[in-house]
């Protein structure tokens, strides 16, 4: 596959396979360098301070990008996403049993995915974008749920909503409001627009 040749180094500061796939499918050449960030501590601190929930996703994305940008030259892309339902912040379900419980709680309700992408350069955040998507889960049957869980297996624990929207998880929904890429965890179009304005990729 022929790729766009960026004028400067691009780095994805994330171990997320779907975020990497989004960039690859867009024809970008990039490195993946992911360094650990204490996400739980950031969330706990911000919740204690009464921060807006959408600001938590932004802070997590920035922390990931900064961690890499302090030692690596280039444009470093950090991204994160949180799920909010009934004004409650959710983390990834730790087990399949917890995922089953989560999906039953989501049935017939609308939840929000609040995502952020931050670009850092030379250890400083130089650009950020926040997105909010709304997803309504249909009133699916228990029989469907069990078949879905059998189909997805351990992958249920790798997503905060216990679904892969780009895969079988699409069957869970009756309505979606928002950008496809943002649902997957990386608001691609605003990111590409920024990279064009900086001359990193052709305009």
Catalytically annotated residues: 80
Pairing outcome for strands 10-12 and 31-32? parallel
Which of 76, 83, 78, 87 has its CA nearest to residue 132? 83
* Paired residues of 176 in beta bridges: 135
Structure tokens at 162: 């216990």
What are the strands, taking DSSP E only, across 64-165? 75-85, 88-90, 110-121, 124-137
Contact partners, residue 142, CB within 8 Å, separation at least 6: none
Q: Within 10 Å of residue 34's Cβ, how many Cβ atoms?
A: 15
Q: Give me 180's structure tokens.
A: 């496809």
């Amino acid at each position: 596959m022929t790729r766009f040749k960026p004028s400067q180094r691009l780095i994805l500061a994330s171990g997320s396979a779907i975020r990497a796939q989004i960039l690859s499918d867009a024809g970008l050449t990039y490195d993946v360098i992911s360094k650990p960030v204490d996400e739980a501590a950031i969330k706990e601190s911000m919740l204690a301070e009464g921060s807006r929930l959408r600001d938590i996703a932004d802070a997590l994305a920035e922390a990931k990008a900064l961690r890499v940008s302090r030692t690596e030259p280039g444009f470093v892309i950090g991204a994160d996403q949180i799920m909010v339902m009934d004004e409650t912040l959710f983390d990834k379900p730790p087990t399949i049993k917890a995922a089953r419980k989560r999906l039953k709680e989501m049935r017939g309700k609308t939840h929000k995915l609040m995502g952020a992408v931050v670009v850092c350069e030379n250890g400083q955040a130089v650009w950020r974008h926040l997105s909010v998507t709304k997803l309504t889960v249909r009133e699916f049957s228990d029989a469907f749920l069990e078949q879905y869980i059998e189909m997805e297996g351990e992958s249920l624990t790798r997503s905060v909503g216990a679904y892969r929207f780009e895969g079988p998880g699409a069957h869970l929904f009756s309505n979606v409001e928002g950008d496809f890429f943002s649902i997957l965890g990386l608001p691609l179009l605003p990111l590409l627009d920024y990279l064009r304005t900086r001359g990193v990729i052709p305009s």
